[in-house]
Amino acid sequence: MNVEFLYVIGDYFSTLEKKCFVTEWVLPIMLGIGCLMLSLCGIDTQYDVIEKSFGFVGTLFCFTLASLNMLLGRDKMKEADNYQTNIKYRNRQATLYELVVISYTYLILVEGFLCIGYIIAHMFNFVYIKFIATTLNTLYVILLFNILATTIRTISATYFILMKR
C-alpha cells in the first residue's frame, strides 16, 4: 500500500507552530466534542453538519488543487524560496515556499480523505453501529473545522507572499 502521504502529514505537524496548533487543532477538537455531546444527548447535529458540508468540501478540494497549481508557477512564489523561517524542517531551516507547499499539500490530502470517507460511508450505509458511526462522524467534524482553519492560514500566508514588495 502506498503510504507516502504520511510524510506530508508528518511534515505538516513538524512545521506547525504552537499558536497555529491551537486554532487548527484545539478549537476543532472542542467543536467536534461539542457536536459529539449533542449527539449523545439525542440531538443529531453531526449528520446534518456532514450532509450539508460535503458539497463544500468537494468544492474546497478543487479550489485547493487549482490554487496550488497556479501558485507554484508564479515568480513571487519562487522568490519565497529565498526566505528562511525560524521553523525546523527535516533538520534544517524551512523556507516560506516550503511551508506554503506543505500546507496546501496537507489540505489536499485531508480534503481527499474526507471525500473518500463520505463516499464510503454512503456505500455502506446499511451497516450501522452507533458507536463507530458517532466516532467517525466526530472525526469528520474535527477534520472539517481543521481544514477550514488551515485554509484560512494558508491563504493568508500566500497573500503576504504575493503582496510583498
Mean pLDDT in residue range 60-73 = 85
Gap between the Cα atoms of 46 and 51, Å rounded? 8
Alpha helices (H) along the chain: 5-15, 18-21, 27-40, 45-72, 75-79, 96-123, 130-163
Instruction: Check residue 24 and give its pLDDT.
Output: 94
Instruction: Check residue 126 and give its pLDDT.
Output: 67
Domain that holds residue 52: 5-163
Q: What is the mean pLDDT of the chain?
A: 86
Q: What is the pLDDT of residues 119-163, one digit of tens each?
A: 888 888 766 777 888 888 899 999 999 999 999 999 888 888 878
* Per-residue pLDDT at 81 exceeds 90: no
Mean pLDDT in residue range 69-81 = 78
Nine-digit cell at 64?
485547493
- Report phi then psi at 49, rounded to 5: -60, -45
Q: What is the pLDDT of residues 85-113, one digit of tens each?
A: 888 888 888 888 888 889 999 999 999 99
Question: What's the number of domains the chain is made of?
Answer: 1
Residue 75 pLDDT grade (very low, low, confident, very high; cuts 50, 70, 90): confident
Q: DSSP state, 90?
A: T
Higher pLDDT, 7 or 131: 7
Instruction: Check residue 165 and give its pLDDT.
Output: 53
